């Protein structure tokens, strides 16, 4: 099938050709004709499948006739993040370059005055994050009674980010007779409930199985036992083993850890930059464009900031932390292997991540090869299961930092950076953040600096259920006596 079979006008076909697309992706092939018919659509599609064009192309076609009135947008696209809003806006610019459509972006972190000015001129397409839109509505700057086309993009993410009450309020301000297009990477029961509420007799389109991971991504789990410091060492080792990485996205669960990891990578000579929600919008955009232009090779992000990033050349994704929400795993690794390209995704998992990892495997419903790293301690499912009731199985305090350093045969990059004291300070910060004893130093087997990643997977986890019971069940706190029990009691 070609784009000309989809019923798009010649101007749009020319714009699509200019961008270099030759054939529609499955979501475009299936969604575009229904959107053009005026039907509601519920699309289950991950980012990277071409879903943005599946609604922007027919929208441009449909909005090409008619005029917008002041403060009354004709269509509305709701997105969870500013970055995604920007990307959708860029899509409108490329595909709509031969069509005269006005658009406005209503997102936090940008000037109200500019946005209000655009609204007053009248907009055909309004791309907004829910908070800013409601803010402007409450200030009386916008009316949604003429908005007859609504797109809710990345609904699952809206749910995760707690935006659903805002979305519900916005939808209640729209005319009931409208066309609604609803996209989500996953179809969890809550998402289905929402789509039932917002859509009327929708055409359901699913281009991947539920919460499936991109097939073009080679996934690996690196099991190591240790705290943040060991994780950073393991990460560096894996990245070095991958050779010259052109562009990679690294995910941390917490904003604080994004900063720590970014700082540590820079100290170790990597070209990295951080992206998270606490940064000013201008510096987020600057970082993103530096990354897109290849000025920085590694982007260290939180989930929220990375949502909706469309950077086709990302070759690797590194999960520095196993995501708390298993569906984020699907989104994270979907940053690579986009639009038919190959990508690699590595996930560093410590014994504390056992449960999170199992949740990920259940969600993606398939196994992932596991490798261990030479020079790093690893752990087994049985050990993880028997960890119940104890926080960590930590060996006694580290003894041999200096002797290890002597034994080690560091690579140039490692040597330079291992000598940097700043990294130790970041370790302390990271450890205190981790809380659960991760600041204890490791003793038994510090990673040797000549350590390399084993190339062959040691196992594929997720293919068999581990026994849910520990092989060596312990009761109470097991062989560990918590510090509070040993503390002298204060008697009044
Ligand atoms: P999306 O899923 O909308 O984030 O799109 C993922 C990537 O696929 C973007 O870089 C698009 O530019 C690209 N893309 C979208 N449609 C096509 C197509 N028909 N052929 C090739 N690439 C496409």
Contact 145, 73 (CB under 8 A): no
- Please give the distance, rounded to the nearest whole angstrom, from the Cα atom of residue 339 to the centre of ligand 1: 6
| Residue among 19, 27, 53 to mutate when testing ligand 1 (max atoms within 8 A of CB) | 53
Is there a single domain that holds both residue 282 and residue 151?
Answer: no
| Residue among 55, 339, 341, 343 to mutate when testing ligand 1 (max atoms within 8 A of CB) | 339
Q: How far is 121 from 102, CA to CA, in rounded Å?
A: 9
- Model pLDDT, residue 380: 83
Closest by alpha carbon to 73, among 138, 130, 8, 128? 128
Q: How far is 490 from 492, CA to CA, in rounded Å?
A: 6
CA-closest residue to ligand 1 atom 14: 50
Is there a single domain that holds both residue 142 and residue 269?
Answer: no
- Please tell me if the CB atom of residue 51 comes closer than 6 angstroms to any atom of ligand 1: yes
- Please give the distance, rounded to the nearest whole angstrom, from the Cα atom of residue 402 to the centre of ligand 1: 51
Domain range for 243 is 217-384
- Please tell me if the CB atom of residue 312 comes closer than 6 angstroms to any atom of ligand 1: yes
Q: Confirm whether 323 is domain-assigned.
A: yes
Instruction: Choose the final residue of a domain: 355, 384, 413.
Output: 384
- Kind of pairing, strands 368-372 and 459-461? antiparallel
Q: What is the 3-state secondary structure (H, E, C) of the chain?
A: CCHHHHCCCHHHHHHHHHHCCCCCCHHHHHHHHHHHCCCCEEEECCCCCCHHHHHHHHHHHHHCCCCCECCECCEEEECCCHHHHHHHHHHHHHHCCCCCCCEEEECCCCCHHHHHHHHHHCCCEEEECHHHHHHHHHCCCCCCCCCCEEEECCHHHHHHCCCHHHHHHHHHHCCCCCEEEEEECCCCHHHHHHHHHHCCCCEEEECCCCCCCCCCEEEEEEECCCCHHHHHHHHHHHHHHCCCCCCEEEECCCHHHHHHHHHHHHHCCCCEEEECCCCCHHHHHHHHHHHHCCCCCEEEECHHHHCCCCCCCCCEEEECCCCCCHHHHHHHHCCCCHHHCCEEEEEEECHHHHHHHHHHHHHHCCCEEEEEECCCCCCCHHHHHCCCCCCCCCCCCCCCHHHHHHHCCCCHHHHHHHCCHHHHHHHHHHHHHHCCCCCCCCCCCCCCCCCCECCCCCEEECCCCCCCCCCCCCCCCCCCCCHHHHCCCCCC
Q: Confirm whether 7 is domain-assigned.
A: yes
- Please give the distance, rounded to the nearest whole angstrom, from the Cα atom of residue 58 to the centre of ligand 1: 15
Instruction: Choose the final residue of a domain: 158, 181, 206.
Output: 206
Is there a single domain that holds both residue 150 and residue 253?
Answer: no
Is there a single domain that holds both residue 177 and residue 198?
Answer: yes
Is there a single domain that holds both residue 107 and residue 158?
Answer: yes
What domain count does the chain have?
2
Q: Confirm whether 266 is domain-assigned.
A: yes
Q: Confirm whether 423 is domain-assigned.
A: no
Is there a single domain that holds both residue 240 and residue 379?
Answer: yes
Is there a single domain that holds both residue 198 and residue 222?
Answer: no
- Please give the distance, rounded to the nearest whole angstrom, from the Cα atom of residue 427 to the centre of ligand 1: 40
- Model pLDDT, residue 340: 59
Instruction: Choose the final residue of a domain: 384, 405, 434.
Output: 384
Is there a single domain that holds both residue 105 and residue 63?
Answer: yes
Is there a single domain that holds both residue 70 and residue 182?
Answer: yes
pLDDT tens by residue, the chain, 492 residues: 899 999 899 999 999 999 888 889 999 999 999 999 999 999 998 877 889 999 999 999 999 988 889 999 999 999 998 889 999 999 999 999 999 899 999 998 888 899 999 999 999 999 999 999 999 999 999 999 999 999 999 998 898 888 999 999 999 999 999 999 999 988 888 899 999 999 999 999 998 644 455 667 889 999 998 899 999 999 999 999 998 888 999 999 998 999 999 999 999 999 999 998 788 778 888 898 899 889 999 999 988 766 666 666 688 999 999 998 887 888 888 777 765 567 899 999 999 998 898 888 887 777 888 888 888 888 888 888 777 544 444 443 333 333 333 323 333 333 333 222 222 222 222 333 333 332 223 333 333 333 334 434 555 554 333 333 233 333 333 334 445 444 544 444
Is there a single domain that holds both residue 254 and residue 358?
Answer: yes
CATH number at residue 40: 3.40.50.300
- Please give the distance, rounded to the nearest whole angstrom, from the Cα atom of residue 475 to the centre of ligand 1: 54
Q: Confirm whether 491 is domain-assigned.
A: no
| Residue among 44, 52, 89, 337 to mutate when testing ligand 1 (max atoms within 8 A of CB) | 52
- Model pLDDT, residue 39: 97
Q: Confirm whether 438 is domain-assigned.
A: no
- Model pLDDT, residue 212: 52
Contact 357, 322 (CB under 8 A): yes
Q: Confirm whether 393 is domain-assigned.
A: no
Ligand 1 atom at minimum distance from 21 CA: 20
- Please give the distance, rounded to the nearest whole angstrom, from the Cα atom of residue 408 to the centre of ligand 1: 46
- Please give the distance, rounded to the nearest whole angstrom, from the Cα atom of residue 425 to the centre of ligand 1: 42
pTM score of the predicted model: 0.57
| Residue among 5, 6, 26, 50 to mutate when testing ligand 1 (max atoms within 8 A of CB) | 50
- Model pLDDT, residue 388: 58
- Model pLDDT, residue 444: 30
CA-closest residue to ligand 1 atom 21: 21
Q: What are phi and psi for residue 184, nearest 5 degrees?
A: -150, 145
- Please tell me if the CB atom of residue 331 comes closer than 6 angstroms to any atom of ligand 1: no
- Please tell me if the CB atom of residue 337 comes closer than 6 angstroms to any atom of ligand 1: no
- Please give the distance, rounded to the nearest whole angstrom, from the Cα atom of residue 53 to the centre of ligand 1: 7
Is there a single domain that holds both residue 174 and residue 237?
Answer: no
CA-closest residue to ligand 1 atom 16: 50
Is there a single domain that holds both residue 201 and residue 223?
Answer: no
- Please tell me if the CB atom of residue 46 comes closer than 6 angstroms to any atom of ligand 1: no
- Please tell me if the CB atom of residue 268 comes closer than 6 angstroms to any atom of ligand 1: no
Q: Confirm whether 118 is domain-assigned.
A: yes
| Residue among 25, 95, 205 to mutate when testing ligand 1 (max atoms within 8 A of CB) | 25
Bridge partner list, 127: 77, 105
- Please tell me if the CB atom of residue 54 comes closer than 6 angstroms to any atom of ligand 1: no
Report CA-CA distances (Å) from 325 to 98, 336, 439: 42, 19, 25
């Amino acid at each position: 099938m070609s784009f000309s079979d989809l019923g798009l006008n010649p101007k749009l076909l020319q714009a699509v050709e200019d961008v270099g697309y030759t054939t529609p992706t499955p979501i475009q092939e299936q969604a575009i004709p229904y959107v053009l018919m005026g039907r509601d659509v519920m699309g289950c599609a991950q980012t990277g499948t071409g879903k943005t064009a599946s609604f922007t192309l027919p929208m441009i076609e449909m909005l090409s006739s008619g005029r917008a009135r002041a403060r009354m947008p004709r269509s509305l696209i709701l997105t969870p993040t500013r970055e995604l809003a920007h990307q959708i806006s860029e899509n409108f610019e490329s595909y709509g370059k031969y069509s005269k459509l006005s658009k406005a972006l209503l997102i936090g972190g940008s000037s109200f005055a500019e946005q209000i000015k655009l609204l007053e001129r009248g907009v055909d397409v309004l791309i907004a994050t829910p908070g800013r839109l409601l803010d402007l509505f409450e200030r009386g700057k916008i009316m949604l009674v003429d908005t007859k086309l609504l797109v809710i993009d990345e609904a699952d993410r809206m749910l995760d980010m707690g935006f659903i009450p805002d979305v519900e309020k916005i939808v209640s301000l729209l005319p009931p007779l409208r066309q609604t297009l609803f996209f989500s990477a996953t179809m969890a029961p809550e998402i289905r409930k929402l789509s039932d509420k917002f859509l009327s007799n929708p055409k359901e389109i699913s281009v991947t199985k539920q919460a499936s991971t991109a097939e073009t991504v080679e996934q690996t789990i690196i099991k190591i036992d240790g705290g943040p410091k060991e994780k950073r060492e393991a990460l560096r080792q894996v990245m070095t083993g991958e050779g010259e990485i052109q562009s990679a996205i690294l995910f941390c669960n917490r904003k604080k850890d994004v900063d720590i990891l970014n700082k540590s990578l820079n100290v170790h000579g990597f070209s990295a930059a951080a992206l998270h929600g606490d940064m000013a919008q201008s510096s987020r955009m600057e970082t993103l464009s530096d990354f897109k232009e290849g000025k920085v090779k590694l982007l260290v992000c939180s989930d929220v900031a990375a949502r909706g990033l469309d950077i086709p050349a990302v070759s690797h994704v590194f999960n520095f932390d196993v995501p708390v929400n298993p569906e984020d795993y699907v989104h994270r690794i979907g940053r690579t292997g986009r639009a038919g390209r190959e990508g690699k995704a590595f996930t560093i998992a410590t014994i504390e991540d056992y449960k999170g990892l199992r949740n990920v495997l259940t969600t993606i419903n398939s196994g992932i090869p596991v490798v261990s790293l030479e020079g790093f301690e690893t752990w087994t499912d049985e050990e993880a299961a028997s960890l119940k009731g104890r926080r960590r199985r930590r060996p006694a305090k580290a003894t041999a930092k200096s002797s290890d350093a002597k034994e080690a045969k560091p690579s140039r990059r490692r040597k330079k950076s291992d000598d940097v004291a700043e990294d130790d300070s970041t370790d302390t910060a990271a450890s205190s953040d981790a809380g659960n004893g991760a600041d204890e130093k490791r003793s038994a087997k510090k990673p040797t600096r000549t350590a390399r990643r084993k190339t062959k997977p040691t196992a594929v986890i997720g293919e068999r259920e581990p026994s849910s019971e520990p092989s060596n069940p312990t009761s109470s706190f097991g062989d560990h006596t918590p510090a509070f029990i040993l503390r002298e009691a204060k008697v009044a």
